[in-house]
């Protein structure tokens, strides 16, 4: 099991490059630029969902179910006034507005992406540092991680999600657990290689205290690879959420996520493809943007890996 997943987890062995030039290179990289702009747009869509001409994404209306995009419905308010609402992306099998669900779905999908990436990196970083630095624990931790890693990710997620009452938290945990060992391995290998560096050995010999050693020498080296790793975790989190929903064990269908909308619409794919089409486009676009960002970051932050 020595095979490092090198394409997904580049290992930097040099101290971080000066940040100024890195930033400059990042800005100039068109892949990074496109990825970030798309992501920023999607984030804005998620944040401003209530003001983008949406209605309650969970409001059901059995009498106008399965309507094709462009269908107009008269909504009667409690005070008797009526307004016409256009279902831009049609309605689903409960008469909910697909457009509103897709727009609100951006919130959940991005929330999952960001929380899974940050939490798994945070946990993985701590465990990885411990494993890399505290020699007696290294063996135990790494055997445990090997065990976790030996369970294929989706299977592990399926098993974990069935542990909890199905909900947002359960899904997030289920996606985090399989990612942790991968982060741990990256961090540990960085710690180990950095320790070998002459200047770090010198620092240790000089009696530099552990916290300082960590902050000054070890952590900076983990930043670049972890940012890159984080983007890939984020992308896979969005996909795994969709797959769990597809298998019927994801986030409760009441909460609109792109995965949910597609999973609920899949039986009607042939008659009403809009249920899969629109969330599918958004999902693909988002993952594409995150992946592009990740690629760009890797090329820029880690020139050795350029082009991969």
Partner 1 sequence: MLGYILRRLLATIPVLLIVAVLVFLMLRLTPGDPAAVIAGDNATSEQIALIRNRLGLDKPILTQFAIWAGNLAQGNLGESFFFKKPIGELIAGRIEPTLSLAFATMLIAICVAIPLGVLAAYKHGSWIDRIVMGFSVLGFSVPVFVIGYALIYIFAITLGWFPVQGYQPLSGGFGGFVQRLVLPAVTLSVIYIALIARMTRASVLEVLNEDYIRTARAKGQVERKILFRHALKNAAVPIVTVVGIGIALLIGGVVVTESVYSIPGLGRLTVDAVLARDYPTIQAVILLFSGVYVGINLLIDLAYSLFDPRIRY
Partner 2 sequence: MAWRLRSLVAAAAIVAGASLTQAQTLKVVMHSDVKIVDPIWTTAYIVRNHGYMIYDTLFAMDEAGAIKPQMVDSFTESPDKLTYKFTLRDGLTWHDGKPVTPEDCIASIKRWSAKDPVGQKLMTFVDTMTADDAKSFTVKLKSPTGLLIFGLGKPSSNVPFMMPERVAKTDPNTQISEFIGSGPFVLKQDEWKPGDKIVYTKFKDYKPRAEPASGLAGGKVAKVDRIEWLAVADQQQAVNALLAGEIDMVEQPAFDLIPLVQSDSNIKLWNYNPLGLQYTLRFNHTQPPFDNPKVRQAVTYALNQKDFLEATIGNPEYYQVCKSMFVCGTPLSSEKGMEGLLESNFKKSQELLKEAGYDGKPIVLLHSTDLLALTNLGPVAKQLLEKGGFKVDMQSSDWQTVVSRRVRKDPVDKGGWNVMQTSWVSADILNPVMAGFFNASCDKAAFGWPCDEQMEKLRDDFAREPDPAKQKAIAEAVQARWREVVTHVHLGQYKVPIAARKNLSGILTAPAPVFWNVEKK
List residues near partner 1 by CB under 8 A: 1-3, 5-8, 143-144, 146-148, 150-155, 158-160, 162-165, 235, 239, 242-243, 246-249, 259, 262, 266, 269-270, 276, 280, 283-285, 287-288, 291-292, 295, 307-308
Helix axes 274-301, 219-246, angle to 10 degrees: 170
Alpha carbons 107 and 47: distance in angstroms, whole number: 7
Say which entry of partner 2, partner 1, none residue 166 contacts (CB below 5 to 8 A, set by partner kind).
partner 2
Question: Is the CB of residue 256 less than 8 Å from the CB of residue 58?
Answer: yes
- In this structure, what is the dihedral angle of CA atoms 18, 21, 26, 27, given to the nearest 10 degrees? 140
Structure tokens at 308: 């991969």
Q: Cα(260)–Cα(246) distance, rounded to whole angstroms? A: 7
| CA pair distance 106, 257, nearest whole angstrom | 7
Question: CB 166 → partner 2: shortest distance, Å?
Answer: 5
Binds partner 2 by CB under 8 A, chosen from 4, 33, 55, 65: 65
Closest CA to 305 of 14, 37, 3: 14
CB of 218 or CB of 242, closer to partner 1: 242
Among 63, 81, 82, 84, binds partner 2 (CB under 8 A): 63
User: Of 62 and 307, which CB lies nearer to partner 1 in the complex structure?
Assistant: 307
Kindly state the tokens that stand for 247. Answer: 């298998």
Interface residue with partner 2, options 196, 271, 306, 307 (CB under 8 A): 271
Q: Which of 43, 54, 58, 115 binds partner 2 (CB under 8 A)?
A: 58
With H, G, I as helix, E, B as strand and everything else as coil, classify residue 83. strand
Binding partner at 94 among partner 2, partner 1, none, C-beta below 5 to 8 Å by kind: partner 2
Least distance in Å: CB of 209 to partner 1?
34
**DSSP H or E segment with residue 74:** strand 71-76
Residue 141: Cβ within 10 Å count = 18
Q: Does 94 bind partner 2 (CB under 8 A)?
A: yes
Closest CB to partner 1 among 59 and 155?
155
Q: Tokens 């931790």 correspond to what residue?
A: 141
Instruction: List the single partner that 65 binds among partner 1, partner 2, none, CB under 5 to 8 Å by kind.
Output: partner 2
Integer Cα distance of 122 and 36 in angstroms? 23
- Taking CB within 5 to 8 Å according to partner kind, which of partner 1, partner 2, none is near residue 283? partner 1
Least distance from C-beta 122 to partner 1, angstroms? 22
Distance CA 207, CA 228 (A): 33
Identify what 254 binds: partner 1, partner 2, none; CB under 5 to 8 Å per kind.
partner 2
Site residues (CB under 8 A) for partner 2? 58-60, 62-63, 65-66, 93-95, 165-166, 248-249, 252-254, 264, 266-272
């Amino acid at each position: 099991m020595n095979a490092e997943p090198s394409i997904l987890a580049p290992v930097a062995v040099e101290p971080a490059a000066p940040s100024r030039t890195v930033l400059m290179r990042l800005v100039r990289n068109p892949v990074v630029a496109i990825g970030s702009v798309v992501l920023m747009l999607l984030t804005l869509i998620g944040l401003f969902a209530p003001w983008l001409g949406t209605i309650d994404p969970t409001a059901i209306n059995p009498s106008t179910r399965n309507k094709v995009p462009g269908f107009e419905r008269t909504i009667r308010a409690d005070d008797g006034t009526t307004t016409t609402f256009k279902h831009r992306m049609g309605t689903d099998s409960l008469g909910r507005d697909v457009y509103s669900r897709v727009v609100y779905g951006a919130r959940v999908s991005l929330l999952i992406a960001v929380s899974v990436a940050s939490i798994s990196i945070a946990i993985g970083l701590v465990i990885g540092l411990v494993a890399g630095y505290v020699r007696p624990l290294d063996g135990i931790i790494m055997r445990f991680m090997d065990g976790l890693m030996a369970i294929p990710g989706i299977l592990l997620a399926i098993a974990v999600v069935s542990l909890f009452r199905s909900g947002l938290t359960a899904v997030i945990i289920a996606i985090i657990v399989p990612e942790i060992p991968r982060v741990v391995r990256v961090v540990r290998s960085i710690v180990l290689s950095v320790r070998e560096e002459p200047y770090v050995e010198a620092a240790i010999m000089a009696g530099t205290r552990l916290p300082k050693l960590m902050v000054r020498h070890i952590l900076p080296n983990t930043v670049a690879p972890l940012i890159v790793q984080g983007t890939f975790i984020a992308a896979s989190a969005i996909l795994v959420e969709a797959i769990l929903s597809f298998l019927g064990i994801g986030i409760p269908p009441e909460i609109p996520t792109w995965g949910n909308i597609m999973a609920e619409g899949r039986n009607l794919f042939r008659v009403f493809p809009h249920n899969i089409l629109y969330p599918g486009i958004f999902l693909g676009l988002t993952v594409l943007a995150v992946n592009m960002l990740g690629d760009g970051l890797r090329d820029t932050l880690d020139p050795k890996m350029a082009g991969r």
